Structure 1
Amino acid sequence: MDNNTISRDGTSLAYQRAGEGPAVVLVSGAMSTGATVAPLAGLLAKRFTAVCYDRRGRGQSGDTQPYEVAREVEDLAALIDAVGGEASLYGISSGGALVLEAAASGLPVRNVAVYEVPYAVYEGGAKERAEYTRNLTEALGAGRRGDAVELFLRLTGLAEEMIQGARNSPMWSGMEAIAPTLAYDDAVLGDGLVPRARLADIGVPVLSLAGGASPAWMREAARAVADSAPQGTYRVLEGQTHMVDPNVLAPALAEFL
Protein backbone atom coordinates (compact mmCIF):
# COMPACT_ATOMS: atom_id res chain seq x y z
CA MET A 1 0.00 0.00 0.00
CA ASP A 2 1.46 3.34 -1.08
CA ASN A 3 -0.74 5.81 0.83
CA ASN A 4 -2.03 6.34 4.34
CA THR A 5 -4.89 8.26 5.86
CA ILE A 6 -6.01 8.56 9.47
CA SER A 7 -9.45 7.54 10.69
CA ARG A 8 -11.40 9.50 13.28
CA ASP A 9 -10.07 7.43 16.20
CA GLY A 10 -6.45 7.82 15.07
CA THR A 11 -6.14 4.50 13.26
CA SER A 12 -3.75 4.57 10.30
CA LEU A 13 -5.28 3.13 7.11
CA ALA A 14 -3.07 1.95 4.26
CA TYR A 15 -4.50 2.24 0.76
CA GLN A 16 -3.68 2.30 -2.94
CA ARG A 17 -5.33 4.27 -5.70
CA ALA A 18 -5.08 3.79 -9.44
CA GLY A 19 -6.64 5.36 -12.50
CA GLU A 20 -8.52 8.57 -13.14
CA GLY A 21 -12.22 9.32 -12.94
CA PRO A 22 -14.96 8.99 -10.32
CA ALA A 23 -13.68 7.32 -7.16
CA VAL A 24 -14.76 3.83 -6.15
CA VAL A 25 -13.59 2.26 -2.88
CA LEU A 26 -13.32 -1.53 -2.87
CA VAL A 27 -13.89 -3.38 0.41
CA SER A 28 -12.65 -6.94 0.97
CA GLY A 29 -14.33 -9.63 3.04
CA ALA A 30 -13.16 -11.86 5.89
CA MET A 31 -9.61 -13.24 6.08
CA SER A 32 -8.40 -10.86 3.38
CA THR A 33 -6.54 -7.61 2.82
CA GLY A 34 -6.69 -4.95 0.14
CA ALA A 35 -4.54 -7.19 -2.05
CA THR A 36 -7.57 -9.45 -2.52
CA VAL A 37 -9.46 -6.80 -4.48
CA ALA A 38 -6.39 -5.29 -6.17
CA PRO A 39 -6.92 -7.26 -9.44
CA LEU A 40 -10.46 -5.83 -9.66
CA ALA A 41 -9.12 -2.35 -8.90
CA GLY A 42 -6.66 -2.69 -11.78
CA LEU A 43 -9.51 -3.43 -14.20
CA LEU A 44 -11.72 -0.61 -12.92
CA ALA A 45 -8.83 1.86 -13.08
CA LYS A 46 -9.38 2.13 -16.83
CA ARG A 47 -12.46 4.27 -16.11
CA PHE A 48 -12.38 5.13 -12.41
CA THR A 49 -10.11 6.11 -9.57
CA ALA A 50 -10.09 2.68 -7.95
CA VAL A 51 -9.12 2.52 -4.29
CA CYS A 52 -8.31 -0.63 -2.32
CA TYR A 53 -7.24 -0.59 1.32
CA ASP A 54 -6.30 -2.80 4.24
CA ARG A 55 -9.22 -2.83 6.64
CA ARG A 56 -8.24 -2.18 10.26
CA GLY A 57 -6.37 -5.06 11.85
CA ARG A 58 -5.05 -6.29 8.49
CA GLY A 59 -1.98 -5.78 6.38
CA GLN A 60 -0.38 -2.38 6.90
CA SER A 61 -3.32 -0.70 8.67
CA GLY A 62 -3.59 -0.14 12.40
CA ASP A 63 -6.08 -1.64 14.84
CA THR A 64 -7.17 0.75 17.58
CA GLN A 65 -9.24 -0.92 20.29
CA PRO A 66 -12.00 -1.40 21.24
CA TYR A 67 -13.56 -2.45 17.95
CA GLU A 68 -16.98 -1.24 16.87
CA VAL A 69 -18.63 -1.45 13.46
CA ALA A 70 -19.03 2.33 13.60
CA ARG A 71 -15.23 2.66 13.57
CA GLU A 72 -15.05 0.82 10.24
CA VAL A 73 -17.72 3.14 8.85
CA GLU A 74 -15.52 6.04 9.98
CA ASP A 75 -12.60 4.37 8.18
CA LEU A 76 -14.59 4.51 4.95
CA ALA A 77 -15.47 8.14 5.64
CA ALA A 78 -11.75 8.93 5.98
CA LEU A 79 -10.92 7.14 2.74
CA ILE A 80 -13.72 8.91 0.86
CA ASP A 81 -12.45 12.24 2.17
CA ALA A 82 -8.91 11.34 1.09
CA VAL A 83 -9.98 10.68 -2.50
CA GLY A 84 -12.14 13.73 -3.06
CA GLY A 85 -15.09 13.75 -0.67
CA GLU A 86 -17.45 11.48 -2.60
CA ALA A 87 -17.16 7.92 -3.91
CA SER A 88 -18.98 4.80 -4.96
CA LEU A 89 -18.54 1.74 -2.75
CA TYR A 90 -18.13 -1.92 -3.64
CA GLY A 91 -17.93 -4.72 -1.09
CA ILE A 92 -17.62 -8.46 -1.43
CA SER A 93 -18.99 -10.95 1.11
CA SER A 94 -18.91 -9.45 4.63
CA GLY A 95 -17.26 -6.38 3.12
CA GLY A 96 -20.57 -5.87 1.37
CA ALA A 97 -22.34 -5.69 4.72
CA LEU A 98 -19.93 -2.96 5.74
CA VAL A 99 -20.55 -0.81 2.66
CA LEU A 100 -24.32 -1.22 3.04
CA GLU A 101 -24.06 -0.01 6.64
CA ALA A 102 -21.87 2.90 5.49
CA ALA A 103 -24.46 3.91 2.91
CA ALA A 104 -27.29 3.62 5.45
CA SER A 105 -25.23 5.80 7.82
CA GLY A 106 -25.35 8.66 5.32
CA LEU A 107 -21.77 8.73 4.08
CA PRO A 108 -21.29 10.77 0.87
CA VAL A 109 -21.60 7.89 -1.60
CA ARG A 110 -23.03 8.01 -5.13
CA ASN A 111 -24.05 4.35 -5.25
CA VAL A 112 -23.23 0.97 -3.74
CA ALA A 113 -22.53 -2.45 -5.25
CA VAL A 114 -22.17 -5.68 -3.28
CA TYR A 115 -21.40 -9.27 -4.18
CA GLU A 116 -22.89 -12.13 -2.18
CA VAL A 117 -23.20 -10.69 1.30
CA PRO A 118 -23.60 -13.91 3.35
CA TYR A 119 -26.81 -12.98 5.13
CA ALA A 120 -29.11 -15.76 6.28
CA VAL A 121 -32.58 -15.77 4.78
CA TYR A 122 -34.02 -18.33 7.20
CA GLU A 123 -34.03 -18.61 11.00
CA GLY A 124 -32.01 -21.83 10.75
CA GLY A 125 -29.16 -19.91 9.16
CA ALA A 126 -29.33 -17.29 11.90
CA LYS A 127 -29.08 -20.01 14.57
CA GLU A 128 -26.01 -21.47 12.85
CA ARG A 129 -24.38 -18.03 12.83
CA ALA A 130 -25.21 -17.48 16.51
CA GLU A 131 -23.43 -20.73 17.37
CA TYR A 132 -20.46 -19.65 15.24
CA THR A 133 -20.35 -16.31 17.09
CA ARG A 134 -20.26 -18.05 20.47
CA ASN A 135 -17.52 -20.46 19.43
CA LEU A 136 -15.50 -17.74 17.71
CA THR A 137 -15.66 -15.48 20.76
CA GLU A 138 -14.51 -18.34 22.98
CA ALA A 139 -11.61 -19.30 20.69
CA LEU A 140 -10.32 -15.75 20.27
CA GLY A 141 -10.76 -15.02 23.98
CA ALA A 142 -8.55 -18.01 24.77
CA GLY A 143 -5.95 -16.98 22.19
CA ARG A 144 -6.68 -20.01 20.00
CA ARG A 145 -6.32 -18.22 16.68
CA GLY A 146 -5.89 -21.40 14.68
CA ASP A 147 -9.15 -22.76 16.03
CA ALA A 148 -10.85 -19.49 15.13
CA VAL A 149 -9.65 -19.79 11.54
CA GLU A 150 -10.89 -23.40 11.43
CA LEU A 151 -14.32 -22.30 12.64
CA PHE A 152 -14.53 -19.76 9.84
CA LEU A 153 -13.40 -22.19 7.16
CA ARG A 154 -15.95 -24.71 8.40
CA LEU A 155 -18.66 -22.04 8.24
CA THR A 156 -17.82 -21.46 4.59
CA GLY A 157 -18.36 -25.17 3.90
CA LEU A 158 -14.73 -26.12 3.31
CA ALA A 159 -14.13 -29.87 3.65
CA GLU A 160 -12.23 -31.08 6.72
CA GLU A 161 -9.36 -32.50 4.70
CA MET A 162 -8.91 -29.12 2.99
CA ILE A 163 -8.98 -27.33 6.35
CA GLN A 164 -6.25 -29.60 7.70
CA GLY A 165 -4.29 -29.14 4.50
CA ALA A 166 -4.51 -25.38 4.94
CA ARG A 167 -3.40 -25.68 8.56
CA ASN A 168 -0.24 -27.43 7.42
CA SER A 169 0.47 -24.95 4.62
CA PRO A 170 2.79 -21.91 4.61
CA MET A 171 -0.19 -19.56 4.39
CA TRP A 172 -1.55 -20.60 7.79
CA SER A 173 0.60 -18.21 9.83
CA GLY A 174 -0.76 -15.29 7.82
CA MET A 175 -4.30 -16.47 8.42
CA GLU A 176 -3.69 -16.72 12.15
CA ALA A 177 -2.21 -13.21 12.13
CA ILE A 178 -5.51 -11.65 11.06
CA ALA A 179 -7.78 -14.15 12.86
CA PRO A 180 -8.93 -11.50 15.40
CA THR A 181 -10.59 -9.62 12.53
CA LEU A 182 -12.99 -12.55 12.08
CA ALA A 183 -14.83 -11.04 15.05
CA TYR A 184 -15.04 -7.75 13.15
CA ASP A 185 -16.67 -9.36 10.12
CA ASP A 186 -19.01 -11.26 12.41
CA ALA A 187 -20.04 -8.00 14.07
CA VAL A 188 -20.63 -6.33 10.70
CA LEU A 189 -23.11 -9.10 9.81
CA GLY A 190 -25.11 -8.51 12.99
CA ASP A 191 -27.51 -11.33 13.81
CA GLY A 192 -26.88 -12.79 10.37
CA LEU A 193 -30.29 -12.06 8.91
CA VAL A 194 -30.88 -9.61 6.06
CA PRO A 195 -31.22 -6.22 7.87
CA ARG A 196 -34.25 -5.15 5.87
CA ALA A 197 -35.15 -2.12 7.99
CA ARG A 198 -31.60 -0.79 7.91
CA LEU A 199 -31.31 -1.32 4.16
CA ALA A 200 -34.49 0.70 3.73
CA ASP A 201 -32.51 3.72 4.98
CA ILE A 202 -30.16 3.68 1.98
CA GLY A 203 -30.92 6.64 -0.25
CA VAL A 204 -28.69 5.78 -3.22
CA PRO A 205 -28.84 3.07 -5.91
CA VAL A 206 -27.75 -0.40 -4.76
CA LEU A 207 -26.62 -3.23 -7.05
CA SER A 208 -26.72 -6.64 -5.37
CA LEU A 209 -24.85 -9.31 -7.32
CA ALA A 210 -24.66 -13.09 -6.98
CA GLY A 211 -23.04 -15.91 -8.90
CA GLY A 212 -25.17 -18.28 -10.93
CA ALA A 213 -23.05 -21.22 -9.74
CA SER A 214 -23.22 -20.23 -6.06
CA PRO A 215 -25.56 -21.94 -3.57
CA ALA A 216 -29.21 -20.97 -3.94
CA TRP A 217 -29.28 -19.33 -0.49
CA MET A 218 -26.63 -16.83 -1.55
CA ARG A 219 -28.73 -15.79 -4.53
CA GLU A 220 -31.79 -15.53 -2.30
CA ALA A 221 -29.88 -13.31 0.12
CA ALA A 222 -28.62 -11.12 -2.72
CA ARG A 223 -32.15 -10.72 -4.05
CA ALA A 224 -33.41 -9.86 -0.54
CA VAL A 225 -30.78 -7.11 -0.27
CA ALA A 226 -31.94 -5.60 -3.57
CA ASP A 227 -35.60 -5.91 -2.59
CA SER A 228 -34.98 -4.18 0.76
CA ALA A 229 -33.11 -1.15 -0.63
CA PRO A 230 -35.46 1.50 -2.09
CA GLN A 231 -33.32 1.75 -5.24
CA GLY A 232 -32.08 -1.83 -5.33
CA THR A 233 -31.26 -3.94 -8.38
CA TYR A 234 -30.51 -7.66 -8.38
CA ARG A 235 -28.27 -9.30 -10.97
CA VAL A 236 -26.81 -12.76 -11.44
CA LEU A 237 -23.41 -13.34 -13.03
CA GLU A 238 -23.84 -16.67 -14.75
CA GLY A 239 -21.24 -19.35 -14.08
CA GLN A 240 -19.70 -17.48 -11.15
CA THR A 241 -19.19 -18.69 -7.58
CA HIS A 242 -18.28 -16.80 -4.39
CA MET A 243 -14.75 -16.66 -5.81
CA VAL A 244 -15.92 -14.35 -8.59
CA ASP A 245 -13.68 -13.74 -11.60
CA PRO A 246 -12.64 -10.04 -11.67
CA ASN A 247 -12.79 -10.11 -15.47
CA VAL A 248 -16.49 -11.00 -15.28
CA LEU A 249 -17.28 -8.73 -12.35
CA ALA A 250 -15.54 -5.56 -13.56
CA PRO A 251 -17.77 -4.91 -16.62
CA ALA A 252 -20.93 -5.36 -14.52
CA LEU A 253 -19.64 -2.93 -11.92
CA ALA A 254 -18.45 -0.41 -14.49
CA GLU A 255 -21.86 -0.40 -16.17
CA PHE A 256 -23.61 0.25 -12.86
CA LEU A 257 -21.11 2.74 -11.44
Structure 2
Amino acid sequence: MDKKTTSRDGTSLAYQVTGQGPTVILASGAMSTGGTLAPLASRLADHCTAVVYDRRGRGESGDTAPYAVEREVEDLAAVIEAVGGDAALFGVSSGGALVLEAAASGLPVRRVAVYEAPFADLLEGGAAREAVYKENLGKALAEDRRGDAVELFLRLTGLGEEMIRGARQSPMWPGLEAAAPSLAYDDAVMGDGLLPRQRLAAVSVPVLSVVGGASPEWMREAGRAVAEAVPRGTYRVLEGQTHMVEPDVLGPALAEFFAG
Protein backbone atom coordinates (compact mmCIF):
# COMPACT_ATOMS: atom_id res chain seq x y z
CA MET A 1 0.00 0.00 0.00
CA ASP A 2 1.52 3.31 -1.04
CA LYS A 3 -1.07 5.81 0.20
CA LYS A 4 -2.55 6.70 3.58
CA THR A 5 -5.60 8.57 4.81
CA THR A 6 -7.11 9.05 8.25
CA SER A 7 -10.55 8.02 9.44
CA ARG A 8 -12.75 10.20 11.62
CA ASP A 9 -11.51 8.59 14.86
CA GLY A 10 -7.85 9.04 13.91
CA THR A 11 -7.23 5.54 12.55
CA SER A 12 -4.65 5.43 9.75
CA LEU A 13 -5.89 3.62 6.64
CA ALA A 14 -3.59 2.26 3.94
CA TYR A 15 -4.80 2.09 0.36
CA GLN A 16 -3.61 1.70 -3.21
CA VAL A 17 -4.97 3.01 -6.51
CA THR A 18 -4.63 1.45 -9.94
CA GLY A 19 -6.18 2.02 -13.36
CA GLN A 20 -8.35 4.78 -14.77
CA GLY A 21 -12.03 5.45 -15.21
CA PRO A 22 -14.91 5.50 -12.70
CA THR A 23 -13.61 4.91 -9.17
CA VAL A 24 -14.47 1.65 -7.41
CA ILE A 25 -13.38 0.87 -3.83
CA LEU A 26 -12.95 -2.83 -3.04
CA ALA A 27 -13.58 -4.15 0.50
CA SER A 28 -12.13 -7.53 1.51
CA GLY A 29 -13.70 -10.21 3.68
CA ALA A 30 -12.53 -11.95 6.84
CA MET A 31 -8.87 -12.89 7.38
CA SER A 32 -7.79 -10.86 4.37
CA THR A 33 -6.29 -7.52 3.44
CA GLY A 34 -6.57 -5.16 0.52
CA GLY A 35 -3.76 -7.11 -1.10
CA THR A 36 -6.09 -10.09 -1.36
CA LEU A 37 -8.15 -8.09 -3.85
CA ALA A 38 -5.17 -6.73 -5.80
CA PRO A 39 -5.58 -9.30 -8.62
CA LEU A 40 -9.21 -8.25 -9.06
CA ALA A 41 -8.18 -4.58 -9.00
CA SER A 42 -5.67 -5.31 -11.76
CA ARG A 43 -8.41 -6.99 -13.79
CA LEU A 44 -10.60 -3.89 -13.40
CA ALA A 45 -7.83 -1.38 -14.11
CA ASP A 46 -8.55 -1.11 -17.85
CA HIS A 47 -12.11 -0.01 -17.09
CA CYS A 48 -12.07 1.57 -13.60
CA THR A 49 -9.92 3.37 -11.09
CA ALA A 50 -9.72 0.46 -8.66
CA VAL A 51 -8.93 1.20 -5.02
CA VAL A 52 -7.98 -1.51 -2.52
CA TYR A 53 -7.52 -0.71 1.15
CA ASP A 54 -6.64 -2.50 4.35
CA ARG A 55 -9.63 -2.54 6.63
CA ARG A 56 -8.87 -1.42 10.19
CA GLY A 57 -7.03 -3.92 12.32
CA ARG A 58 -5.31 -5.65 9.42
CA GLY A 59 -2.46 -5.14 6.99
CA GLU A 60 -0.87 -1.70 7.09
CA SER A 61 -3.92 0.08 8.55
CA GLY A 62 -4.18 1.00 12.19
CA ASP A 63 -6.87 0.27 14.75
CA THR A 64 -8.60 2.31 17.42
CA ALA A 65 -10.73 0.96 20.26
CA PRO A 66 -13.58 0.57 20.83
CA TYR A 67 -14.68 -1.09 17.60
CA ALA A 68 -18.07 -0.42 16.04
CA VAL A 69 -19.43 -1.11 12.57
CA GLU A 70 -20.03 2.64 12.28
CA ARG A 71 -16.25 3.17 12.47
CA GLU A 72 -15.77 0.94 9.42
CA VAL A 73 -18.41 2.93 7.55
CA GLU A 74 -16.48 6.07 8.49
CA ASP A 75 -13.33 4.38 7.17
CA LEU A 76 -15.00 3.93 3.80
CA ALA A 77 -16.12 7.55 3.88
CA ALA A 78 -12.50 8.61 4.48
CA VAL A 79 -11.23 6.52 1.56
CA ILE A 80 -13.99 7.89 -0.71
CA GLU A 81 -12.98 11.44 0.20
CA ALA A 82 -9.30 10.65 -0.31
CA VAL A 83 -9.86 9.39 -3.86
CA GLY A 84 -12.00 12.31 -4.99
CA GLY A 85 -15.38 12.02 -3.28
CA ASP A 86 -17.12 9.99 -5.99
CA ALA A 87 -16.97 6.20 -5.95
CA ALA A 88 -18.78 2.91 -6.29
CA LEU A 89 -18.25 0.07 -3.82
CA PHE A 90 -17.56 -3.64 -4.11
CA GLY A 91 -17.33 -6.09 -1.24
CA VAL A 92 -16.63 -9.81 -1.08
CA SER A 93 -18.10 -12.07 1.63
CA SER A 94 -18.40 -10.08 4.89
CA GLY A 95 -16.96 -7.13 2.98
CA GLY A 96 -20.17 -7.31 0.95
CA ALA A 97 -22.22 -6.89 4.10
CA LEU A 98 -20.02 -3.90 5.00
CA VAL A 99 -20.51 -2.05 1.70
CA LEU A 100 -24.27 -2.68 1.82
CA GLU A 101 -24.36 -1.15 5.32
CA ALA A 102 -22.30 1.78 4.06
CA ALA A 103 -24.78 2.42 1.26
CA ALA A 104 -27.72 2.08 3.66
CA SER A 105 -26.00 4.63 5.91
CA GLY A 106 -26.14 7.20 3.15
CA LEU A 107 -22.53 7.35 2.00
CA PRO A 108 -22.24 9.12 -1.38
CA VAL A 109 -21.76 6.09 -3.63
CA ARG A 110 -22.91 5.55 -7.20
CA ARG A 111 -23.35 1.79 -7.26
CA VAL A 112 -22.71 -1.23 -5.06
CA ALA A 113 -21.71 -4.77 -6.01
CA VAL A 114 -21.29 -7.70 -3.65
CA TYR A 115 -20.00 -11.23 -4.06
CA GLU A 116 -21.56 -13.85 -1.80
CA ALA A 117 -22.29 -11.93 1.38
CA PRO A 118 -22.87 -15.02 3.57
CA PHE A 119 -26.24 -14.31 5.16
CA ALA A 120 -27.37 -17.62 6.63
CA ASP A 121 -31.18 -17.36 6.39
CA LEU A 122 -31.42 -20.34 4.04
CA LEU A 123 -28.79 -22.50 5.71
CA GLU A 124 -30.47 -25.10 7.91
CA GLY A 125 -29.75 -24.14 11.50
CA GLY A 126 -27.92 -21.05 10.25
CA ALA A 127 -29.13 -18.63 12.92
CA ALA A 128 -28.24 -21.03 15.75
CA ARG A 129 -24.85 -21.75 14.18
CA GLU A 130 -24.09 -18.04 13.96
CA ALA A 131 -25.07 -17.50 17.61
CA VAL A 132 -22.79 -20.30 18.83
CA TYR A 133 -19.91 -18.99 16.70
CA LYS A 134 -20.37 -15.47 18.04
CA GLU A 135 -20.29 -16.67 21.65
CA ASN A 136 -17.27 -18.94 21.21
CA LEU A 137 -15.35 -16.39 19.17
CA GLY A 138 -15.88 -13.76 21.85
CA LYS A 139 -14.57 -16.10 24.54
CA ALA A 140 -11.51 -17.13 22.54
CA LEU A 141 -10.51 -13.55 21.77
CA ALA A 142 -11.19 -12.35 25.32
CA GLU A 143 -8.76 -15.03 26.54
CA ASP A 144 -6.26 -14.19 23.76
CA ARG A 145 -6.59 -17.69 22.29
CA ARG A 146 -6.01 -16.44 18.79
CA GLY A 147 -5.31 -19.84 17.28
CA ASP A 148 -8.60 -21.15 18.63
CA ALA A 149 -10.40 -18.13 17.18
CA VAL A 150 -8.93 -18.85 13.75
CA GLU A 151 -9.97 -22.50 14.04
CA LEU A 152 -13.54 -21.46 14.87
CA PHE A 153 -13.66 -19.34 11.74
CA LEU A 154 -12.18 -22.05 9.53
CA ARG A 155 -14.78 -24.52 10.80
CA LEU A 156 -17.50 -21.97 10.10
CA THR A 157 -16.35 -21.84 6.49
CA GLY A 158 -16.63 -25.63 6.26
CA LEU A 159 -12.95 -26.55 6.39
CA GLY A 160 -12.37 -30.10 7.66
CA GLU A 161 -10.41 -30.96 10.80
CA GLU A 162 -7.51 -32.50 8.89
CA MET A 163 -7.12 -29.38 6.78
CA ILE A 164 -7.28 -27.19 9.90
CA ARG A 165 -4.50 -29.25 11.51
CA GLY A 166 -2.47 -28.82 8.34
CA ALA A 167 -3.09 -25.08 8.37
CA ARG A 168 -1.76 -24.86 11.95
CA GLN A 169 1.53 -26.31 10.73
CA SER A 170 1.80 -24.08 7.69
CA PRO A 171 3.92 -20.91 7.31
CA MET A 172 0.75 -18.83 6.96
CA TRP A 173 -0.52 -19.65 10.47
CA PRO A 174 1.30 -16.85 12.37
CA GLY A 175 -0.23 -14.33 9.99
CA LEU A 176 -3.69 -15.79 10.56
CA GLU A 177 -3.25 -15.57 14.33
CA ALA A 178 -2.07 -11.97 14.01
CA ALA A 179 -5.27 -11.10 12.14
CA ALA A 180 -7.55 -13.06 14.50
CA PRO A 181 -8.88 -10.02 16.45
CA SER A 182 -10.38 -8.68 13.22
CA LEU A 183 -12.65 -11.74 13.09
CA ALA A 184 -14.75 -9.98 15.73
CA TYR A 185 -15.11 -7.04 13.34
CA ASP A 186 -16.40 -9.22 10.53
CA ASP A 187 -18.74 -10.92 12.98
CA ALA A 188 -20.11 -7.53 14.02
CA VAL A 189 -20.58 -6.51 10.39
CA MET A 190 -22.63 -9.67 9.81
CA GLY A 191 -24.91 -8.85 12.77
CA ASP A 192 -26.96 -11.90 13.72
CA GLY A 193 -25.96 -13.56 10.47
CA LEU A 194 -29.37 -13.06 8.87
CA LEU A 195 -30.30 -10.81 5.97
CA PRO A 196 -31.08 -7.28 7.26
CA ARG A 197 -34.04 -6.77 4.93
CA GLN A 198 -35.30 -3.56 6.51
CA ARG A 199 -31.83 -2.05 6.39
CA LEU A 200 -31.29 -3.08 2.78
CA ALA A 201 -34.57 -1.42 1.80
CA ALA A 202 -32.80 1.89 2.51
CA VAL A 203 -30.18 1.32 -0.21
CA SER A 204 -31.24 3.65 -3.02
CA VAL A 205 -28.47 3.01 -5.55
CA PRO A 206 -28.25 0.12 -8.03
CA VAL A 207 -26.93 -3.10 -6.44
CA LEU A 208 -25.44 -6.12 -8.22
CA SER A 209 -25.41 -9.32 -6.18
CA VAL A 210 -23.12 -11.94 -7.69
CA VAL A 211 -22.71 -15.59 -6.69
CA GLY A 212 -20.82 -18.60 -7.95
CA GLY A 213 -22.78 -21.34 -9.68
CA ALA A 214 -20.69 -23.99 -7.88
CA SER A 215 -21.23 -22.47 -4.43
CA PRO A 216 -23.64 -24.11 -1.93
CA GLU A 217 -27.32 -23.55 -2.66
CA TRP A 218 -27.88 -21.59 0.56
CA MET A 219 -25.20 -19.10 -0.44
CA ARG A 220 -26.58 -18.71 -3.94
CA GLU A 221 -30.04 -18.09 -2.53
CA ALA A 222 -28.62 -15.60 -0.03
CA GLY A 223 -27.26 -13.66 -2.99
CA ARG A 224 -30.65 -13.74 -4.66
CA ALA A 225 -32.25 -12.50 -1.43
CA VAL A 226 -29.87 -9.52 -1.33
CA ALA A 227 -30.91 -8.53 -4.85
CA GLU A 228 -34.58 -8.84 -3.91
CA ALA A 229 -34.25 -6.89 -0.66
CA VAL A 230 -32.82 -3.73 -2.20
CA PRO A 231 -35.06 -1.50 -4.36
CA ARG A 232 -32.77 -1.63 -7.41
CA GLY A 233 -31.13 -5.04 -7.26
CA THR A 234 -29.79 -7.36 -9.96
CA TYR A 235 -28.80 -10.99 -9.38
CA ARG A 236 -26.10 -12.71 -11.42
CA VAL A 237 -24.62 -16.22 -11.31
CA LEU A 238 -21.10 -16.93 -12.52
CA GLU A 239 -21.19 -20.55 -13.64
CA GLY A 240 -18.48 -22.82 -12.28
CA GLN A 241 -17.31 -20.37 -9.63
CA THR A 242 -17.13 -20.91 -5.87
CA HIS A 243 -16.63 -18.56 -2.92
CA MET A 244 -12.98 -18.35 -4.07
CA VAL A 245 -13.99 -16.62 -7.29
CA GLU A 246 -11.49 -16.15 -10.10
CA PRO A 247 -10.69 -12.46 -10.80
CA ASP A 248 -10.66 -13.10 -14.55
CA VAL A 249 -14.29 -14.25 -14.32
CA LEU A 250 -15.61 -11.74 -11.79
CA GLY A 251 -13.76 -8.75 -13.23
CA PRO A 252 -15.69 -8.44 -16.51
CA ALA A 253 -19.03 -8.76 -14.72
CA LEU A 254 -18.10 -5.95 -12.32
CA ALA A 255 -16.66 -3.75 -15.07
CA GLU A 256 -19.89 -4.03 -17.05
CA PHE A 257 -21.98 -3.11 -14.01
CA PHE A 258 -19.85 -0.20 -12.83
CA ALA A 259 -19.75 1.30 -16.33
CA GLY A 260 -23.55 1.36 -16.43
TM-score, scaled to structure 2: 0.98
Provide, for residues 141-164 of structure 1, a one-character-per-residue CA deviation record: whole Å limited to 9, x for no partner: 000000000000000000100000
Between the two proteins, the alignment pairs up a number of residues equal to: 257
Structure 2 residue 125 is the aligned partner of structure 1 residue 124 = yes
Structure 2 residue 5 is the aligned partner of structure 1 residue 5 = yes
Asked whether the equivalents of residues 92 and 115 of structure 1 are also in contact (C-alpha less than 8 Å), the reply is yes
Q: Residue 195 of structure 1 aligns with which residue?
A: 196
Secondary structure class of the residue paired with 1:220: helix
Q: Residue 75 of structure 1 aligns with which residue?
A: 75
Secondary structure class of the residue paired with 1:52: strand
**What does residue range 40-189 of structure 1 map to in structure 2 within 5 Å?**
40-122=40-122, 124-189=125-190
Structure 2 residue 6 is the aligned partner of structure 1 residue 16 = no
d(CA) in 2 for partners of 1:144, 1:28? 24
d(CA) in 1 for partners of 2:7, 2:49? 20
Output the amino acid matched with 2:141: L
Deviation at 1:256, TM superposition (A): 0.5
Output the amino acid matched with 1:11: T
Provide, for residues 189-215 of structure 1, a one-character-per-residue CA deviation record: whole Å limited to 9, x for no partner: 001101100000000000001000000
d(CA) in 1 for partners of 2:232, 2:213? 22
Gaps of 5+ in 1: none
Q: Residue 212 of structure 2 aligns with which residue?
A: 211
Output the amino acid matched with 1:29: G
Structure 1 stretches of 4+ moved >6 Å: none
Gaps of 5+ in 2: none
d(CA) in 2 for partners of 1:213, 1:38? 23
Deviation at 1:170, TM superposition (A): 0.7
Q: What RMSD over aligned residues (CA atoms) do the two structures have, in Å? A: 0.7
d(CA) in 1 for partners of 2:19, 2:252? 16
d(CA) in 1 for partners of 2:64, 2:87? 25
Output the amino acid matched with 1:208: S
Deviation at 1:20, TM superposition (A): 1.3
Deviation at 1:110, TM superposition (A): 0.3
Deviation at 1:90, TM superposition (A): 0.3
Output the amino acid matched with 1:12: S
Percent identity over paired residues: 74
Deviation at 1:77, TM superposition (A): 0.2
Asked whether the equivalents of residues 121 and 220 of structure 1 are also in contact (C-alpha less than 8 Å), the reply is no
d(CA) in 2 for partners of 1:154, 1:206? 30
d(CA) in 1 for partners of 2:43, 2:221? 28
Output the amino acid matched with 2:103: A
Provide, for residues 28-82 of structure 1, a one-character-per-residue CA deviation record: whole Å limited to 9, x for no partner: 0000001110000011111111000100000100000100000000000000001
Secondary structure class of the residue paired with 1:193: coil
Structure 2 residue 220 is the aligned partner of structure 1 residue 223 = no
Output the amino acid matched with 1:21: G
Q: Residue 38 of structure 2 aligns with which residue?
A: 38
Output the amino acid matched with 2:83: V
Secondary structure class of the residue paired with 1:236: strand
Deviation at 1:121, TM superposition (A): 1.4
